[in-house]
Amino acid sequence: MPDPHKPLRDDVRMLGELLGETLRQRGGDALFATVERVRALAKSGRAGDQREIESLASLLHELPVEAAVPVARAFSHFLTLANIAEQHHRIRRRRAYQQDPAARPQPGSCDEVFARLIEDGVEPDALYGAVVSLRIELVLTAHPTEITRRTLVYKQLRIAEALAQLDRPDLTTPERGELMEALRREITATWQTEEIRPERPTPVDEVIGGLLIFEQTLWDALPRYLRTMDAALRRTTGRGLPLDAAPIRFGSWIGGDRDGNPHVTPDVTRLACIVSRWMAADLYEGELDALRLELSMTECTPELRARAEGAREPYRAVLRVARDRLRATRDRLGRALTAGMAEQRFVIDRRASSPEEDRLGARQPADDAEVYENIDDFVEPLRLCYASLVETGQKIIAGGRLTDILRRTAAFGLTLVRLDLRQHASRHAAAIDAITTHLGLGTFSDWGEGRRQAFLVSALHDRLEVPPGLVADDQTRDVLETFKAAAAIHTESLGAYVVSMTRSPSDVLAVALLQQQAGARLRIVPLFEEVETLRSAPATMRALFERPVYRDRIAGRQEVMIGYSDSAKDGGRLTANWELYKAQEAIVDVCRAANVELTLFHGRGGSVGRGGGPTYLAIQSQPPGSLNGRIRVTEQGEMIQAQFGLPEIAGRTLEVYTTATLAATLTPAQPALSEWREAMDRLAEVARTAYRTVVYETREFIPYFRTATPEQELAAMPIGSRPARRPKKGEDEGVESLRAIPWVFAWTQTRLLLPSWLGVGEALASAFDRGERDLIARMYRDWPFFRSTLGLIEMVLAKADAHIAAQYDRQLVPEDLMPVGADLRRRLDTTIGTLLQASGSDRLIAHNPVLRRSIDVRNPYVDPINLVQIELLRRLRESDDVDSQLWHAFMVTVNGIAAGMRNTG
C-alpha cells in the first residue's frame, strides 16, 4: 500500500532545497555551510550524541550576532515552510477522502457523522431538527503574542497556492517550471522581508487584521461548507438546509475587549463596529455586481415585475437598487472612518491599492441612495428574486450565487461579526462607587454582598437616575462612556457584555444597572475564571435567577463564559479541567431547574495550557447535556490563521465544529461513574497542591522564572496592543498579575511548557501509590473527558524538551536558583513516566505517528534557534545599554521558536 504521507515529505524536501538555494544566493556559501554544519550537529545531538549538542552550543556561542542571526532565520524559515507543507497536506488528504466520500467518508465530516448518528438510532427528523437549530458562534479575539506579520502571511499563502497547483495531474512541463520559479520568488521575497513589526499594533490595527480573514477565506468558505452540509443532510434525511439556517456565526472581541487594555477606548469600539459594517457592505456589493451579471433572464413573477417597474430585465433592475443602497451604505461608513481616526485611511487605501482591481476608485458616488440599516431590509429584495426564480421553474439558477448570498446574510448579517464588550468586574464596582458616593450613600465597594445586591435590585426596579455632575476619575469615566457608546451603536453590531472575574451576583447586577442608566441593552455574560470562582459559579447563577428583576431581563436565556486560561494559571491544567467540567455540570443543573436556556461560552486559547487542542476531541469531552446544540468558543490570534487561513482548512474547521457539537448533543456521553469522580477529585487536589507549591509558594520560583525564560523581554516586544500584565497592585508582583497568554508563551519559548503539565505527575503517582492503577486505566479507556485531558497533556509532553530547558538554566540562571530548574525537569520526567503508565503506552503519542514524526523532524531545526536565543538573552542582560541589533536578533528567534512549536500562547 503506498505511503499517503510521502507527498508531504517530498514537499518539505523540495521547499528545503529551494530555501538552500536562497541562502546561497542571498547569504553566500559561507552562510549555507554554517547552516548545514549546525543542522548536522543538531541531528546528531537528537540521535543521542550529547557531545554534538555541546559542540553546537559552543559553535553558536562563538558566532558574532551578525552571523548568528542569519542562521536562526534560516531554521525559522525552514520551519515555516514545513508548516505550510503540513497545512497543504491536510488539504491533500481531505481531497482524497472527498474523491469517494460514499466509500470512505472523512472522520468528522458531515457524511460520516450524519450516517453514524442514524446508525446509532437517531431518527432522521431528529437529526434534521438538530442540524437546523445548531447555534455555534466562533468569537475572534486579538492575541497579545501573535507573531507573524500580515505581510509575511500573504507570502506564505502564495506558497501554499503554488503547492496546490503543483498537485495538478495535468500540469505541463512549462507550467511546472513556472510554478517552481514562483516558489523561488516567494521564498526569496520572504527571506528578504523584515519579519519583525516596527512598532506595537494599535487596537484598530488588530481590528483590521482580524477582519481580513473574512475577505481572505471565510466569505467564500462558509457558503461552500453549507453546500456540503446541505448535500449530506439531503442524502441522510431527504431534506436540505433552509436558507435562513445559520449553524455557524461569528463574533469578535477585537476592539471591544478592554479588560486591562487601556488602549481600547469607546472611540475604538465605535470604529471597530464601523470597520466591520464597511467591510460587509463592500463584500456584499461585489456579490451583487456578480449576481446582476448572472440574472439576465426576463421571466419572473408579477410581484417582481411590479417591483422592477416593468423593466425588461427585472432581476437586474431590482438588484441594481439594492447594489446602489449598499454602495451608499459603504460610502457613508467610509466617511465615518476617515472622520473618526486618521489611521483608518489604511482601510480605504488598502482596498484601493488591491492587486485585483481598484474597486473603490472605479465606483461612482451613491449619495442619493438610501442606506441599509438592518439586515432584513437587505434580505427582502433577495428573497423576492429567489421566490420569483423558484416559482417560474428556474430553481437551479436560484440555487447558485443567490443562495450563497442569502446564506451569508444569515451568518454574517450586515456586520460580519457582532462585537462583544468585556471589562473587569472591579471597574464596574468603581463606577457604582462613584454613583453611591455622589448620592451620599457611601462607598459601594465597602459594603457586604447582601447590601450590594439590595441596592442594585432596588435601583434597577426604580430605574435610578443619577443627577448630572457625577465626579469620576478617568478610568470610571471610560467605563461610563463605554456604556453610552454601546447605547448609540447599532444593535446588530453588538453581541454580549462579558464581565471578567465575576465572583458574585452583584458583579452582574452592577452591569445591568450601568446599562440601564446609559440606555444600552447587551446580554450580560458572567466570566468565571479562577478555581474558587468556578466552584461558586452555580451559587452565583442561582442567586441571580432568584431575583425577579434579573429574570425579567434575561427572558429565559442565559449565557455563561468559563475561562480556561486563568483557571489553569491558578491551579494547573489538570485541576482546571476538572473544575471546569464540574462547574459546567452544576451550571447546567441550575439553569435547568430555573427553566433557563443556557449557552456556554468557552474561553479557550491556542495552546493546551490555555484550553486549546483538537476541536472534535475537546467538544466531545464536555459534560453530558452541556451543549444542547449551542456553544460559543473563542478563536485567538494565531489560531485564526491556523484554523481559517486557507479556504479548505477553513471549511474543515467549520465542519468539525458543527459535527462535533451535533454528535455531543444527540449522543452525549454517559455520566461519569461516582468512582471515577471521586478518583478525579483526589487527582485534582494533589495536582493543585503540587502546582501551587511550586508556582505560588516557592520563594525562588518567580526569580527563577524571570531569569530562565524570556518573560521580561517578551513583554517589551511589539506584538500586541494589550500590556503583558494587569495593572500593578504593588512592586512585589508575581504570577498573579501576569496574563495567562504571556505566562504560557514564556515557557513555550524555553520548551519546558510547564503550565500544561505541572502537577499531573504527582497526581498520577499518588493514585498509583494508593493502588488505583487499574482504576486509572479504566478511566482512560472508558471516560472521554479523562482520556482527552491526558491526551492533550501527552501532546504537550511530546513537544517538551528538558535538555533545551537545561541549556537556558546553564547560561542564564544564577547558581542559587539552579535547584528550581533541576526540580522542574525532574517533575517533567515523572509526569512523562506516570502518563505513559496511565495510557498503557511505551512512547508519547505513539498512537499518532504523523504528529510524532512531525515533532521528531522539527526538533533538530528548533534546537539551534533556542541555543541562539539563549546566547542573545545572555548578551542582552549583560549589556548596560539597549543594543538594537541584539534586540532585533532576539525577536527573530522568538518568531522561529513559535513557528517550530506551532503556537505561542
DSSP bridge pairs for 631: 136, 600
758: region left, alpha or beta (phi > 0 left; psi from -120 to 50 alpha): beta
Q: Give φ, ψ of 108 to 5 degrees.
A: 85, -5
Cβ atoms 780, 838 nearer than 8 A: yes
Cell of 802: 528538558
Q: Which residues are catalytic?
A: 143, 569
CB-based burial label for 699 (10 Å; 0-12, 13-18, 19+): exposed
Q: What b/e string do you get for 548-570 counting C-beta neighbours within 10 Å, with b at 16 or more?
A: ebbbebbeeebbbbbbbbbbbbb
CA–CA gap between residue 831 and residue 829 (Å, rounded): 5
Could you give the maximum distance between any two Cα atoms of the chain, in Å? 89
**Residue 309, phi then psi, degrees to nearest 5:** 55, 40
| Residue-by-residue DSSP string for 438-500 | HTTS--GGGS-HHHHHHHHHHHHHHT--PPS-----HHHHHHHHHHHHHHHS-GGGEEEEEEE
β-sheet bridge partners, residue 524: 497
Alpha-carbon distances of 105 from 88, 93, 95, rounded to whole Å: 19, 12, 11
Element (H or E) spanning 195, and its range? Answer: none
Backbone angles phi, psi at 392, to 5 degrees: -100, 20
- Residue carrying C-alpha cell 425577579: 548
Q: Which long-range contacts (C-beta less than 8 Å, at least 24 apart) are formed by 835-838?
A: 835/760, 835/761, 835/764, 835/790, 835/793, 835/794, 835/797, 837/764, 837/768, 837/773, 838/764, 838/776, 838/777, 838/780, 838/790
Residue 720's SS3 state is coil
For residues 724 and 738, what is the distance between their CA atoms, to the nearest angstrom? 6
How do strand 418-424 and strand 557-563 relate by DSSP bridges? Answer: unpaired
Which helix (H) or strand (E) segment holds residue 25: the answer is helix 6-46
Beta strands in 338-439 (DSSP E): 418-424
